[in-house]
Structure 1
Amino acid sequence: MGRIIAVANQKGGVGKSTTAINLSACLAEKGKKVLAIDMDPQGNTTSGFGVDKNGIENTLYELLLGEAETKDTIVKDVVENLDLIPSNINLSGAEIELVGIDDKEFILKGITDKLRRKYDYIILDCPPSLNMLTINALTAATSVLVPIQCEYYALEGLSQLIHTIDLVKERLNKRLKMEGVVFTMYDARTNLSLQVVENVKENLNQNIYKTIIPRNVRLAEAPSYGQPINIYDPRSAGAESYRLLAEEVLNREDN
């Protein structure tokens, strides 16, 4: 049965979609069968894989509302070994439309539990808020990976996210565990990045990945070309960092 990892942080601009895209791609590069699910109405993960988010008929929105079958929603082989369930701005309406549905927190879980037999990893790119979409992701997931940017307000809102994770584990999903924290946008030239890393390590009683994702021009460029970094520039510092992160994720599976 595959692992389901929710990439979550309600703070925007922390490298969440970048991490979802490139972790998925690097796991696929290592021969794992991967499904990425874009749960953010902005659709950054969708466009980051070169899929026209405004030109697709069936998305996660239709799937959650029962208007499309799973098989009709999956975009096959956006890169080798990697499939995608895309999203676009329509997903922003799901919050209201799900309100009257019984057991609405479990809709995604019902979908992903069937898909776990087909994939080694399912990566969920959560929206930058603690809304019903994020609750669905946490209820479906086996673990949560939290990207934290190496900037001044890095810890802002993190305690609320961890509290939400704890509540979901207690009430909705007892199998949920904290996969770990990964630092993003690290700039070795600044004291601030180093201070943020040390501050988080001192104050956060969570698993912290050894791999730190650097601030990298090629990493920032890749989404505009619709390619993950390991394809856009395989030898870049960003590509090497996400390969190392994928190795850590795989090693945690073995331990």
Structure 2
Amino acid sequence: PGSVVLPPVEAASEPRRRLPKVAKIISVANQKGGVGKTTTAINVAAGLAKAGRSTLVIDVDPQCNATSGLGVEPAQRHPLVAGRSLAEAVVETSQPKLFVLPGSQSLADADALSASNRQRASMLRQQLAGDLSGFEFVFLDCPPSLGQLTRAALGASAEVYIPIQCEYFAMEGLSQIIDLARQTKAKDNHRLEIGGIVLTMFDPDLDLAHEVANEVRGYLEETVFQTLIPRDVHISEAPSHGMSVLDYSPRARGSWAYAELAMEVIDRE
């Protein structure tokens, strides 16, 4: 690990920077585990922070992987459960401009889900707008399920990013999360859009990986991000060190890929 070296595209993108009045709130969701969901939330956020954007990751997964992956201890009680202000629970990470609202196993408590989905989403949306307006990007790392926490997060978000791995069965279940996003848009949150599909674990030496990428692009067209996230051991190792891959191994292929993906996110503003 050492100082990060970013692609030259960062400097080229800087003149386009503009500060929104409120944060762009993005859920990162997929009901399948092992697709790079939390990894994508952490590393895209880190890439945006390194591009000068004040970015927050809110861990709404009771497993708290985004929290530990950024070198922070999980909370005893999540503010969404305790009824506290979100802003009071925000923790600064070791990387400038990158913050995390730690997850907690208390989110798994059934009592935390007593309100209706619409009420819960409304409460979360109000807290995000009122407490966290100083951030430019807020990422909600959802659990690997289509349960109430994911539904509430979608109800409070402007966009959802869906990571899928470039492997067999990649399309399995994709329609379910897309359908849930569309249902949420129709019933609870009219501004929600599918902001992007992230292709992860891409192996350029495998024909299957290219076939999957082409199939997904054919199905979802411009919604799919151009950047392919490679299968890279450094991406897998970084969370155990409490760091993004951009800090853990700045010159790794995975680090460059996530930095480029962050630039795509900025370009889509």
2:204 counterpart of 1:183: no
TM-score, scaled relative to structure 2: 0.87
Q: Is 2:92 the counterpart of 1:71?
A: no
Matches within 5 A, 1:136-147: 136-147=152-163
Partner of residue 121, structure 1: 137
Tell me how far apart the structure 2 counterparts of residues 169 and 83 of structure 1 sit (CA, whole Å). Answer: 28
Residue 98 of structure 1 corresponds to: 113
In structure 2, runs of 5+ residues without a counterpart are 1-21
CA distance in 2 between counterparts of 1:167 and 1:19 reads 24
Task: Give the aligned partner of residue 2 of structure 1.
Answer: 23
For residues 98-146 of structure 1, what are the alpha-carbon distances to aligned partners after superposition, in whole Å with 9 as ceiling and x for unaligned? 2246812322212111144210000111111111111111111111111
- Structure 2 distance, partners of 1:30, 1:100, is 38
Number of the residue aligned with 2:255: 239
The residue that corresponds to 1:251 in the other structure is 267
- State the match for 2:218 in structure 1: 202
Alignment partners' CA distance in 2, 1:149 and 1:70? 32
| Cα distance per residue 1:10-69 (max 9 Å; x no partner) | 11110000000000011000000111101111111000001122xx44x5x2x1134433
- 2:222, 2:170 → 1: CA distance? 15
Q: Deviations over 1:163-189 (max 9, x none)?
A: 110111111111111111010000111
Runs of 4+ in 1 over 3 A off after TM superposition: none
- DSSP-derived class of the 2:61 partner: coil
1:188 is paired with a residue whose SS is: coil
Q: Percent identity?
A: 40
Q: Secondary structure at the match of 2:268?
A: helix
Aligned residues: 247
Cα distance in structure 1, aligned partners of 2:158 and 2:132: 11
Distance 2:63 2:201 in 1: 21
* Counterpart mapping for 1:150-189 below 5 A: 150-189=166-205
Equivalent residue letter for 2:27: A
CA distance in 2, matches of 1:166, 1:109: 18
Shift in Å, 1:194: 0.9
Structure 1 residue 206: deviation in Å? 5.8
RMSD of the TM alignment (CA)? 1.6
* Cα distance in structure 1, aligned partners of 2:94 and 2:186: 36
Match of 1:51 among 60, 63, 72: 72
Are residues 1:222 and 2:243 paired? no
1:148 to 150, 158, 164: 164
Q: Which ranges of structure 1 fall in alignment gaps of 5 or more residues?
A: none
| Cα 1:219/1:100, change in 2 over 3 Å | closer
Q: Distance in 1 between matches of 2:138 and 2:154?
A: 13
Normalising by structure 1, we get a TM-score of: 0.92
